[in-house]
Structure 1
């Protein structure tokens, strides 16, 4: 699944292509101009859709700082548990052999 930032980059690229298409359209015949303008509109529509998807994802996914903070907290808890758990002697430990 793409990240919101990836979707926004794709949207920006589509808008850039739409701008270029409109500029190029000015130098074409009327028939070609209309086709290229229609394509530019399609690109704009795709960009709008991608931005909407990115906004939806941004609302549903917590910011990376929260996720990484939660991960760090879980790691700390695991380390604390490792230090507080009683150690059981391992019968296969060579130090215990007479």
Structure 2
């Protein structure tokens, strides 16, 4: 196995991590920004007002994007496992 192959595998794995984490984190960041803007405009300083919508959105994203995320992970793992003979030899 060459160093270039190892770098390619690591790059693909890191890209998969960024992609899957971004799918979960981005909607929560957007909702948090909207809620924070609302809190700043109305001067309401309630902690649960910012936490609860982000929690609900994150759970909904996991529910709806979960099958797609699992498919991406399985495809990546399947590609790695099927290429083991070519990577070793």
Alignment TM class, shorter chain as reference: 0.3 to 0.5
The one of the two structures with greater contact order (alpha-carbon pairs below 8 A, sep at least 6) is 2
Of the two, which has the highest radius of gyration? 1
Give the structure-1-normalised TM-score: 0.38
